[in-house]
Amino acid sequence: MKKFKYLFGPVPSRRFGLSLGVDLTPFKTCSFDCVFCQLGRTTNHTTERKEYVPMDGVCNELNEWLSTNGQADYITLAGSGEPTLHSRFGDVLEFIRTHTRIPAVLLTNGTLLDQPGVQEAAARAHIVKVSLSVWDTASYVNINHPHPNLKFDQLVEGLIQFRANFKGRLWMEVFLIDGMNSGPNDVKKIAQLARQINPDCIHLNTAVRPVHHDFVKPLTGEELNSLAPLFDPPAEVIPEFKTTRRPDFQTNEDTLLEMLRRRPCTSEQIAGALGLHLNEVSKYVGKLLRTNRIRKIRKDDNVYYCTVNK
């Protein structure tokens, strides 16, 4: 596939099959600085909405991808930060809806959904997936590290308001971290908020991809399954993505392993060498870590990956 500036993939997604990513912000522009983010620390911590990347450039790339018979299960606004910070993300969603039958997805942390204009723009997506992994101000600050302009009550109220008017499908991700928000009492509090918001489905997630902070520990599949019934209806634990449709997935994985056998590399070095988006790199690295084919080492506040000697 041609190397695009604003598009990446299609990449394997546990929720969305093969998903073409649309990246609307420079790395890493976000209203959160979550401890569990696979892209590392937020470098532009902001709530300012503007046209971070040119709308025309994004649409031109989408047109070019579609003209080459591009195929994906979904086209997803996601990437290097929070897509609703882009002042014209709704126009991108509208472009997708009018130029292809591929469903449009918005992945958002929900922090700006209390704004009527953001709600209206987000409603152009077929699916909106929001995140809620906290239950009060203290946990919000401790886990999400929101921009100082943001308040926990504002987040919850925005999600409730959006759900009340949104005609599409609302999915919710609850990201659980061992020892931080994974106790049954804490999960019950998150589940109580989820009932108020009333999403169509709830997905439990944990740190299956590499994260910057060593104190962020994943839950096991058994632990996630034991917590799923605390939600009403019960949450889903998303299985590992499997496909035989894209042989280049295996090719990229093998190439990455060969590169790491020669020398340790950071995620940024892998992305540059293989021409991949950091989101794609995190998927490959996460799978190789879980299957014990690579390990990570920390040096000077950088995380390097190398193969496991057997």
Look at residues 101, 94, 76 and name the one whose alpha carbon lies nearest to residue 13. 76
Is residue 252 predicted with pLDDT exceeding 80? no
What is the pLDDT confidence band of residue 188, given thresholds at 50, 70 and 90?
A: very high
CB-CB neighbours of 197 under 10 Å: 21
Is residue 220 predicted with pLDDT exceeding 80? yes
Q: Give the range among 28-37, 76-85, 284-293 with minimum mean pLDDT.
A: 284-293
What is the pLDDT confidence band of residue 248, given thresholds at 50, 70 and 90?
A: low
**Domain 246-310 CATH (choose: 3.30.950.10, 1.10.10.10, 1.10.10.920, 3.40.50.1580):** 1.10.10.10
Between 295 and 110, the more confident residue is: 110
Q: Give the range among 1-15, 74-88, 99-113, 225-239 with minimum mean pLDDT.
A: 1-15
Q: What is the spatial distance between Cα 151 and Cα 146, in angstroms, rounded to a whole number? A: 8
CA gyration radius, the chain: 19
142-159, pLDDT tens digit by residue?
A: 999 999 999 999 999 999
In this structure, what token pair is assigned to residue 159?
A: 């999600």
Please tell me the pTM assigned to this model: 0.83
Is residue 246 predicted with pLDDT exceeding 60? no
Phi, psi of 283 (to 5 degrees): -70, -50
* CB 243, CB 252: distance < 8 Å: no
Q: In 189-310, where do the E strands start and end?
A: 201-205, 236-237, 294-299, 302-307
Domain ranges of the chain: 7-243, 246-310
Calculate ∠ Cα 109-24-271, nearest 5°: 95
- Find residue 265's DSSP bridge partners: 305
Torsion of CA 227, 231, 233, 237, to 10 degrees: -40
Q: In 59-209, where do the E strands start and end?
A: 74-77, 104-108, 127-131, 169-175, 201-205
Q: What is the spatial distance between Cα 148 and Cα 252, in angstroms, rounded to a whole number? A: 40
71-105, pLDDT tens digit by residue?
A: 899 999 988 899 999 999 999 999 999 999 999 99
Please determine, looking at this structure, whether the domain spanning 7-243 carries the CATH number 3.40.50.620: no
What is the pLDDT confidence band of residue 130, given thresholds at 50, 70 and 90?
A: very high
